[in-house]
Structure 1
Amino acid sequence: MKEFIINNNDSGQRIDKFISKAMPELPKSMMYRLIRKKDIKLNGKRCDISDRLSEGDVVRVYVKDEVAAEKQHDLSFRSASRELDIVYEDDNILIADKPVGLDSHSNATSSSDTLINRIKLYLCEKGEYNPQEESSFAPALCSRLDRNTSGLVTAAKNAAALREINSAVKNGQLHKIYHCITVSAPPSQEDILTAYHRKDEGRNIVRISDEPKEGFREIKTGYRVLAERSRLYLIEVTLYTGRTHQIRAHLAHIGAPLLGDGKYGDPSANKRRGVFRQALCAYSLIFDLPEDSPMSYLNGLKVTSGTPEFEKRFFAERNDK
């Protein structure tokens, strides 16, 4: 038998979702069978799959000891670097300025030194995160950036904050503004573009269409030219939707590819300028949450990244002003 006492980070979840996280070795088919046979109990009583947990609830799972083995917590974050540029922090969230070359999450080719692992290490050493005390939650990123994109990433310190920020992202209540450099002028100085986006999972590349097509999802991208120098264009981009490679692919689609972009860009221009990583930075965040949100205290807060290196290099005169 395995017993869990629900803490604040576990509360609010459906019981089946909680058990899947707390006992990852337990097959889902077995879990659902245990619920049907009343071998999973909530506060000593039978439960349904859809029952939601509250702080202080007791969940007991009646299975053999070998199935109820202690969850192995991922402690790979302990080997991450302590280098972390925090631009905003409170009890619920942390906003970090991610450098170029650092993965947001672990993947098949990356080491344990990722942005989320640096954040976990920081919070663990600060005493705000102890994996041994958590059954289903770990600090998590509310968005992610490509390895070679720099800028702001929001992380949630607790489950309630994660739900709130994820909801804000989904509902367009967290406004994201980017800076980038293009190697050609966009069609106008300022515009809000609508197009249609499809990701080719096998090739990790996206396609953009001006017309609706089967399998394509609508995207909306706003841009404004901030400066021009030596046939390079410093662009401010506002994301109204957040699809994979949206800025890179959408600007390339309108004839203004990003400097340094090896996937959607202009190879000859990149070689001529000696830039081989996309000149793109998640520059600022503005919160606009509902007034009844427990995190509405963030409304009006504008968090800004440091000036990206590509902007310093090619638009130094603008940054000296």
Structure 2
Amino acid sequence: MRELTIGKNDAGQRLDRFVGKSLPLLPPALLQKYIRLKRIKLNGKGAKREVKLQLGDTLQLYINDEFFDKPSDENIFLTIATPQIDAVYEDEHILLINKRAGMVVHDDDHNTVGTLVHHLHAYLYQKKEWNPRDEQSFTPALCNRIDRNTSGIVMAAKTAEALRILNEKIRDHEVEKQYLCITVGKPTPPNGTIRGFLRKDDMKKQVTFHKKPVPNGKTAITHYRTVKTSDKLSLVECTLETGRTHQIRVSMAEIGCPLLGDGKYGHGATNRQYNETKQALCAYKLTFTFPTDGGVLSYLKGKTFTVANVPFVETYFG
């Protein structure tokens, strides 16, 4: 329990607004709940949220110590009252999350609050599976990333050992990822492999496709299979042999079949026709191939996990 005394500059404020300003890490919904449960007392008694504080009043706050810290990159997850975690699979070591399109995976240049990693930390904290105050160095982490407007499976490690193994398996190409996408046009041939070199322009945040090696270009190999076609759209499954920035989006555009809704590499007129503002791309399937020892994660060998429902598939090919 901590106690605060109301000074002259604090007097006259509503109870809930004063506490909200004093504890910026405490989510508003949780603040109101604590007032109702009388975990926030005024002069030793429960009080209404709208009561006006008077000079000399004392507040007794029965709230976890971490909510009294100053906001920082490490504790901003505390402000999330309801974590948005759609778990495809979870056990004591890992969590596979179906990220929604529009959510940023990691912190970006704009100091975005509410990234997937923030929601992960809030989720595990609220389940009492992790508390930064109990750890010397480890923080649960995401092992792969996908674009803001791409949906699908993101791998999270809940333990340091799982993080080490997953990072190793990803580096050694022992985790196979497959994507579903909707393209504008029908790929020709319907099944094939797109090989090339991708060069990223960090200033423009854009990637260009090259058929021959170029300075700073990275090899990109994408296997694709047409699943269905309808009108001018096609449902295509892509398997990545390499994992480059915007690889599927750029590669499919290169063969004349850009992704529906892709504002960077796609057809603006077609996107507007279908009223799509996010690329129709989902990392829908993940397989742990593990041809080598998986350590504490060996039980995952050969297992495949799939997103149960891909909204854009239901919309156009349901």
Normalised-by-shorter TM-score class: 0.7 to 0.9
User: Does structure 1 retain, via aligned residues, the 8 Å contact 2:88–2:96?
Assistant: yes
Q: Note the 1:66-215 alignment, pairs <5 A.
A: 74-80=74-80, 81-109=82-110, 111-215=112-216
Q: Note the 1:1-321 alignment, pairs <5 A.
A: 74-80=74-80, 81-109=82-110, 111-294=112-295, 295-316=297-318
Alpha-carbon shift at residue 259 of structure 1 (Å): 0.3
Distance 2:202 2:136 in 1: 32
Partner of 1:48: none
Alpha-carbon shift at residue 99 of structure 1 (Å): 0.8
Counterpart of 1:277, as a letter, is: K
User: Does structure 1 retain, via aligned residues, the 8 Å contact 2:290–2:302?
Assistant: no
Partner of 2:29: none
Q: Note the alpha carbon deviations across 1:222-275, whole angstroms, 9 max, x for none.
A: 100000011100000001111111110111111110000000001111111111
Counterpart of 1:299, as a letter, is: K
SS in 1 for 2:277: coil
Counterpart of 2:158, as a letter, is: K
SS in 2 for 1:311: helix
When the two chains are superposed, the root-mean-square deviation of aligned CA atoms in Å is: 1.4
Counterpart of 2:141, as a letter, is: A
User: Structure 2 stretches of 5 or more lacking a match?
Assistant: 1-71
Alpha-carbon shift at residue 88 of structure 1 (Å): 0.5
Distance 2:309 2:223 in 1: 20
Shift in CA distance, 215/291, structure 1 to aligned 2, threshold 3 Å: closer
Distance 2:194 2:171 in 1: 19
Distance 2:214 2:106 in 1: 32
Distance 1:291 1:258 in 2: 35
Distance 2:104 2:216 in 1: 28
SS in 2 for 1:74: coil
SS in 1 for 2:169: helix
SS in 1 for 2:166: helix
Distance 1:226 1:290 in 2: 28
SS in 2 for 1:78: helix
Aligned length: 245
**Comparing 92-101 and 286-295, the one that deviates more:** 286-295
SS in 2 for 1:164: helix
Q: Which has the larger radius of gyration?
A: 2
Distance 2:73 2:213 in 1: 45
Distance 1:242 1:291 in 2: 20
Distance 1:234 1:307 in 2: 14
Distance 2:160 2:275 in 1: 43
Runs of 4+ in 1 over 6 A off after TM superposition: none
